[in-house]
Amino acid sequence: MELMTRQDAPVHATHGTNSPSIEVLFGGKRDSEEIGLVRLTVPAGVSMPSHRHAGSDVILAAVAGSVRITKGDQIVDLEVGDALLIFKYESVALANPHQQTAEVLVAAGPAAFISTVRRWPKLDTRVPSSA
């Protein structure tokens, strides 16, 4: 058994400033090549262009707010309690057109997608100490 706390999870940028961030919880490293888990945080008004998940099937589960997933002309609004399976060969776009920041847990199998995320730039999420 292994615990990953929010304070210990590395946070990566998806596409630079004003973009979603991804906290790597498990996978793509020493812990598991079969399955991985990340927490995607999508601020209000932010989106990601159409993309694939680097050889992984992924399951998205909204835990706060909601996001819109688009595949061609198919649109799914993923809300808290919903889950969505995206196959490795599918290209999807993601957006948060709402007023609230959204958080989505993303499970990936195999963990190839998580290995890719681990190579993205890390964000400095340390809280400055007050003097």
69-107 confidence digits (pLDDT tens)? 999 999 999 999 999 999 999 999 999 999 999 999 999
> Which CATH fold would you assign to the domain 11-118?
Jelly Rolls (2.60.120)
CA gap 88, 68 in Å, rounded: 18
Burial, 35: exposed, middle or buried (Cβ in 10 Å; 0-12, 13-18, 19+)? middle
Per-residue pLDDT at 18: 72
Contact 66, 58 (CB under 8 A): no
- Return the closest-CA partner of residue 105 out of 7, 8, 26, 19: 26
Instruction: With H, G, I as helix, E, B as strand and everything else as coil, classify residue 83.
Output: strand
For 20-63, the pLDDT digits (tens) are 999 999 887 766 788 999 999 999 999 999 999 989 999 999 99
